[in-house]
């Protein structure tokens, strides 16, 4: 069984991933920035008798990462799997997003995973064994208006992940990118709140449509346990891939975007009212041609 380190385990995808890996017999080091939020995971692990060891780790802090990795390796001997899941949202137009807000999203969503990767890769490379899973998003494959910080950080993570996969392939270390669509997590709720808070923006029409999209997503989004299952599959499958889209909306988002020109995609929102934005969004994506019979 593997030694698995997961970030952002206080709720959502990280919480479910910790339980998923532990139920499969792995030793899980579930990390989070604020240990005051560890109660639900600790209780669930105790109730099921799972080997989940909770550690404090702030991905924004190199000192925190160094201390946590040192402690885990001292306890377990090595790290076989790293799941970079911790993340924050970032809502706002390019014009209105401050440097502080942009840096905050990049620190957690981009530089945080890279810090952890640099901490674990040397040992994985020397052993010629290990897996790194970076939890990105469909937001790393296409853009939405008025959320430049979040999308920029995920696009950057996609680039770094693909580069890393190319670099580590000769050493037998697997890299996977998991790209969820909309799932019921605190980050989705925070994003929806962020859009609602910008009613006075000069981009209020676009923000109104994005707010409607996220409101609909909050009602229709899936169980984060589905993402956890995909993360585990990316680690254990005999037929690994680089990217894993997850969720009923993920393929329509990414596949539909790929079938539109840049100009068509730029004007997509002009075709819908606010009320139609979620209900009719996918109707405006062209569908792939049916195979000839």
Catalytic pick among 15, 29, 150, 214: 150
Is the separation of the CB atoms in 6 and 29 below 8 Å?
yes
The label of the residue with tokens 């019921």 reads: 184
Based on the residue annotation, tell me whether 150 is a catalytic residue of this protein: yes
CA 106 to chain centre: 13
Q: Checking DSSP bridges between strand 52-56 and strand 27-32, what pairing results, if any?
A: parallel
Strand segments, DSSP code E, in 85-221 are 131-135, 174-180
Distance CA 228, CA 180 (A): 10
Distance CA 147, CA 96 (A): 10
Sign of CA dihedral 142, 146, 147, 149: positive
| Tokens encoding 289 | 């041609």
Is the separation of the CB atoms in 80 and 130 below 8 Å?
yes
Pick the closest to residue 180 from 139, 143, 215 (CA basis).
139
**Which residues are catalytic, by number?**
150
């Amino acid at each position: 069984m593997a030694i698995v380190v997961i970030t952002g385990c206080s709720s959502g995808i990280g919480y479910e991933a910790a339980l998923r890996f532990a139920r499969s017999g792995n030793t899980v080091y579930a990390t989070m920035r604020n240990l005051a939020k560890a109660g639900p995971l600790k209780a669930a692990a105790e109730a099921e008798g799972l080997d989940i060891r909770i550690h404090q780790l702030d991905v924004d802090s190199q000192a925190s990462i160094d201390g946590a990795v040192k402690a885990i390796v001292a306890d377990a001997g090595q790290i076989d799997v790293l799941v970079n899941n911790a993340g924050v949202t970032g809502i706002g137009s390019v014009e209105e997003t401050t440097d502080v807000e942009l840096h905050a999203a990049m620190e957690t969503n981009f530089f945080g995973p890279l810090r952890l990767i640099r901490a674990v890769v040397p040992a994985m490379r020397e052993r010629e064994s290990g897996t790194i899973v970076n939890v990105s998003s469909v937001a790393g494959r296409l853009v939405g208006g008025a959320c430049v910080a979040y999308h920029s950080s995920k696009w950057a993570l996609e680039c770094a992940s693909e580069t890393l996969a190319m670099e580590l392939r000769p050493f037998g270390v697997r890299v996977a990118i998991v790209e969820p669509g909309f799932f019921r997590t605190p980050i989705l709720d925070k994003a929806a709140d962020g859009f609602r808070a910008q009613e006075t923006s000069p981009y209020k029409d676009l923000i109104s449509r994005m707010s409607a999209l996220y409101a609909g997503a909050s009602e229709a989004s899936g169980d984060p346990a589905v993402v956890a299952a995909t993360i585990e599959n990316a680690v254990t499958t005999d037929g690994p891939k680089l990217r894993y889209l997850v969720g009923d909306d993920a393929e329509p988002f990414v596949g539909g975007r790929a079938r539109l020109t840049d100009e068509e995609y730029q004007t997509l929102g002009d075709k819908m009212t606010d009320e139609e934005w979620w209900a009719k969004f996918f109707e405006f994506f062209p569908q792939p041609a049916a195979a000839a019979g």
